[in-house]
Amino acid sequence: MATHRGFGISSIEYPTGMNQNGDPSQAWVKVKPDGRVDVFSGTSDIGNGAKTIQSQIVAEAIGIPYDWVTFDNSNTDSSPVCTGTFASRATFVAGNAVLKAAMDVKQKILEVAGKEMEVSPEDLHIVDGEVQVKGSPDTKLGVADVAAAATWTHGVLMTGTGAQLNEYAEITNTLTGEVSGPPHAAISYAACAAEVEVDDETGDVRVLRLIQVYDVGKAINPSLVEGQIEGGALMGLGLGVLENSYPYYPSPDHRGYSIGSYYMPSSEDMPEYKTAIIENPSADGPYGAKGIGEMANNGQPGAITAAVHDAVGIWVTELPITPELVLRALDAKAEPRREGKLIAFDEELSVNSMASGISWSV
């Protein structure tokens, strides 16, 4: 009996948002008299960084420092509609909504600034909180000054609205699967490589290393993207070798009935890991971003399964890969098999059988 090491790899693709639209998001942005900006969005932040990402998008689109932006999703009564935080859609769909709202309010800032500076709005742009004349950066006016002028001189409330509803894709040919529009807003891609150690006596599978590569379109906040991937890796580890609500599904036998009996990984179980981020921008995502949230825990189980096969030559076709499943597969592999042996009662029978395509086996 011994331990064996193996290596496996998996690759995945994952859509962003719901198929064939159906999940709109809306947003509005307001510039206050002091030049600071409020963003109103219905997106729930459940740890995916929606507040940070959408605030970054607004700051970048308008041309102001990030710390000038306040994100408000405090209630569903005053916030615009957001279908929800699911389907890896928050950055892409809700992000596009706030981007449109920010571009809308930016145009109003330029219009008021143009009146103050007696310059056409088309000849102005905003850089780091200052409205500048293109080609003449020393000719400028602070956004705060523009906001004050809008309030006290021109009587203008500078707000912008935005809404994102992906194009509807109607199936036009049920035989070929042809559609009238894009069935997905964007597709993300990833690959995961796993190194495991398998004990052929106990059936224990220990994941030693995970190497992951993710195409995220554009990493608007690289630290948050890495956090998503690393958190997903821990979840994928649980799906691959630990977490099992129904060990004898569909039978409820030996099912745990409390969180204390549910075996899931902790930080101590995390193997060595490396992550690489690839930026292959989406044509329709905000600044090229694609969805990343859910796909972060999809690749690990497949890579671990392939690595177990590489280590001990068995395919475990259920998840999680428990010691019991490993030992059963090893026992089945060890059983003697005589399939495919030709029974030649005599030379004539053997020749005739092969000629007629009959397979004799025991």
Q: What is the pLDDT of residues 168-217, one digit of tens each?
A: 878 888 898 888 877 788 899 999 999 999 999 999 999 999 999 999 99
pLDDT higher than 70, residue 250: yes
pTM of the predicted model as reported, rounded to 2 decimal places: 0.85
111 is catalytic: no
Q: How confident is the model at residue 46 (pLDDT cuts 50, 70, 90)?
A: confident
SS (H, E, C) 68-104: HEEEECCCCCCCCCECCCCCCCHHHHHHHHHHHHHHH
Domains of the chain with bracketed CATH: 3-15+186-324 (3.30.365.10), 25-164 (3.30.365.10)
Tell me, what's the pLDDT at 341?
44
Q: Does the pLDDT at position 248 exceed 60? A: yes
| Average pLDDT estimate for 293-311 | 96
Beta carbons within 10 angstroms of residue 132's beta carbon: 20
Report pLDDT for 60.
Answer: 98
State the pairing for strand pair 178-179/37-41.
unpaired
Confidence of residue 357 (pLDDT cuts 50, 70, 90): very low
pLDDT for 204 equals 96
Query: Which residue in the list 13, 201, 230, 294 is annotated as catalytic?
Result: 294
Residue 88 region, left (φ>0) first, then alpha (ψ -120 to 50), else beta? left
- Per-residue pLDDT at 348 exceeds 60: no
Residue 291 has pLDDT above 60, yes or no: yes
Tell me what the pLDDT averaged over the chain comes to: 89
Q: What is the pLDDT of residue 76?
A: 80
DSSP per residue, 270-316: --EEEEEEE----SSSGGG----TGGGGTHHHHHHHHHHHHHHS---
User: How high is the pLDDT of residue 338?
Assistant: 56
CA 216 to chain centre: 8
| pLDDT higher than threshold 70 for residue 293 | yes
With a cut of 50, say whether residue 359 has pLDDT above it. no
Give the model's pLDDT for residue 171.
83
Across 38-47, average pLDDT: 90
The stretch 350-361 carries a mean pLDDT of 36
Mean pLDDT of 125-142: 96
Q: Is the pLDDT of residue 350 over 50?
A: no
